[in-house]
Amino acid sequence: MEIGWKLAVPLRHSANEIESQEEPFPWESAMAASLAGDHAAYRLLLQEAARWLDRHYTSYLVPAMVEEAVREALLAIHTRRHTFAPGRPLMPWLTAIAHYTVMRNEALAQGRVEMRTVRTAILHAF
pLDDT in tens, 67-121: 999 999 999 999 999 999 988 999 999 999 999 888 877 766 676 555 555 555 5
Work out the pLDDT band at 14, boundaries 50, 70, 90. Answer: very low
- Angstrom distance (rounded) from CA 97 to CA 113: 18
Domain topology for 26-125: Rna Polymerase Sigma Factor; Chain: A (1.10.1740)
What pLDDT is attached to residue 60? 84
User: How many Cα atoms sit within 13 Å of 46 on the Cβ side?
Assistant: 21
**Residue 10 predicted with pLDDT over 50:** no
Better pLDDT: 8 or 31: 31
Section 10-30 average pLDDT: 64
Reply yes or no on whether the pLDDT at 9 is more than 70.
Answer: no
Alpha-carbon distances, residue 92 vs 19, 52, 88, 97, 113 (angstroms):
23, 13, 9, 9, 25
Question: Averaged over 30-43, what is the pLDDT?
Answer: 95
Q: Where are the domains of the chain?
A: 26-125
Contact indicator for 71, 7 with CB cutoff of 8 Å:
yes
* Mean pLDDT, residues 35-40 taken together: 95
What value does the mean pLDDT of the chain take? Answer: 78
Looking at residue 81, its pLDDT comes to 93
pTM above 0.75, yes or no: no
According to DSSP, residue 59 is labeled: T
Predicted confidence at residue 101, as pLDDT, reads: 86
Q: How far is CA 50 from the centre of its chain?
A: 6
